[in-house]
Structure 1
Amino acid sequence: MSDFTEILDAEARRYALNMIALWAAQQLGKSGDEANDFAHEFIAKNASDEPPTRAFDRLCQLLVGKGLCTKEEVLRKMNEHGAIAQACFGTDVHDTEAEPPPV
């Protein structure tokens, strides 16, 4: 894989994480600077080469644990935002076929 492809993959992942984090912030009742701060912190914790399931698990702990949505809703949003990032950057962001862990 070329350096350019690796950079593009990393940017696409950050873009997808930013979109899912802003959605999560909205679910938590955050807006404006508070939502942006939440997104930046989420990206910082999840933008590494960790498996995408770690970000999914963290979102589920936060949102499902508070009764704000289901694991299926988190997975659907992650897949939606991953597909948008993939279309924008022409790269694969994560395994969008992942199944949520059992409830």
Structure 2
Amino acid sequence: MYQVIFSEEFPGHGRERGFRASPADVLLAIAKNHNVQIPFDCEDGECGSCVVEVEELGEKSAFHMTDKELDKLMALGVITQAEADELTEKDVMCKYRLACQCKIWNDIKVKPYKK
């Protein structure tokens, strides 16, 4: 089991909230189950409305993002092509994720995405 901590910066709570999650649980589902307000529209990685910032709290892990998610983050201007290339080359995690595509792989802290 992993710990998922949602920052106090999410609307409606004003404090950090932590929840247990199983490996491969989807971040957006955890948020919805616990009334954490992450904006979303499609829940399929197509719209990009659910971008969040994720900080690993345990050991750093390898790259766990689909090409679809990576392409959407680049299309939204969240990351550049050079940043995407570096992430894949070094096999490291991107700190920006789509909550609807992000599966839990470690203890993490989640914050709203700020442009």
Q: TM-score, normalised by structure 2?
A: 0.27
Higher relative contact order at CA 8 Å, sep ≥6: structure 1 or structure 2? 2
Q: TM-score, normalised by structure 1?
A: 0.29
